[in-house]
């Protein structure tokens, strides 16, 4: 991991529940900082030659979390990157340790009802889909999101920076992150 005194702002990791805007805010933040944006799920898909739902179906969640951890270990050695993590990536204690040791963690906080509205009817999300990959009904979706959110939010709250990403535009969210980063990067 990063040596003591190394610049943790050289790697910015974005976390939050699925639908919080990580893949939208990440590229904008990267562009604003002059950093490369990397979506963790996309990097894993490229490495495996399969989609996330296929990986879940064929290898299971435990193997997927191992793939996330390995990819984060590699990313932790790079500089000037913004990484959007998967919604459950940091529930793995090894992945969380890699992120906390190699960069700054930003949590895009979104109210539960907003997340439910954003995720209703979405396909390609194994954690909120039926076994056959179809979207869950409203009541099942609400229950699944609520239970996952309650498990994951304590991990998200360990972030160095917490930003409200529920009501504002992606640009406003990026501005809030940049404001929080300024003193950490030595810029006021």
| DSSP, res 162 | E
The pTM assigned to this predicted structure is 0.87
Burial 141-180 (b: 16+ CB within 10 A, else e): bbebbeebbeebeebbeebbbbbebbeeebeebbbbbeee
Given pLDDT bands bounded at 50, 70 and 90, which one contains residue 4?
A: very low
List, for residues 107-148, the tens digit of each pLDDT value.
Answer: 999 998 898 888 776 666 656 667 777 777 778 878 888 888
Cβ neighbors of 171 (< 8 A, separation 6 or more) are 28
Find the helix or strand (DSSP H, E) in which 14 lies.
strand 11-15
188 has a pLDDT exceeding 50: no
Task: State the average pLDDT over residues 54-76.
Answer: 92
List, for residues 10-63, the tens digit of each pLDDT value.
Answer: 999 999 998 899 999 999 999 999 999 999 999 999 999 999 888 988 998 899
CATH label, 8-181, candidates 3.40.50.20, 3.20.20.80, 3.40.50.300, 3.40.50.150: 3.40.50.300
Residue spans of the domains in the chain: they are 8-181
Cβ neighbors of 175 (< 8 A, separation 6 or more) are none
Q: How far apart are CA 145 and CA 1, in angstroms?
A: 33
List, for residues 147-175, the tens digit of each pLDDT value.
Answer: 889 999 999 999 999 999 998 999 999 99
Could you tell me the end-to-end alpha-carbon distance of the chain, in angstroms, rounded to an integer?
28
| DSSP, res 90 | G
């Amino acid at each position: 991991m990063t040596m003591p005194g190394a610049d943790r702002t050289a790697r910015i990791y974005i976390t939050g529940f699925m639908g919080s805007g990580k893949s939208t805010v990440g590229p904008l933040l990267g562009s604003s900082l002059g950093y490369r944006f990397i979506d963790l799920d996309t990097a894993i898909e490229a490495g495996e030659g399969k989609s996330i739902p296929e990986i879940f179906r064929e290898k299971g969640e435990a193997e997927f979390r191992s793939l996330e951890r390995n990819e984060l270990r590699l990313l932790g050695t790079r500089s000037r990157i913004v990484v959007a993590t998967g919604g459950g990536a940091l529930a793995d204690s090894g992945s969380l340790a890699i992120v906390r040791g190699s960069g700054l963690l930003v949590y895009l906080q979104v109210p539960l009802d907003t997340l439910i509205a954003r995720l209703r009817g979405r396909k390609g999300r194994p954690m909120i889909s039926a076994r056959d990959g179809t979207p869950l009904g409203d009541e099942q979706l609400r229950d699944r999101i609520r239970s996952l959110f309650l498990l994951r939010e304590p991990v998200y709250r360990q972030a160095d920076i917490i930003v409200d990403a529920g009501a504002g535009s992606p640009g406003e969210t990026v501005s809030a992150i940049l404001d929080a980063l300024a003193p950490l990067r030595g810029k006021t």
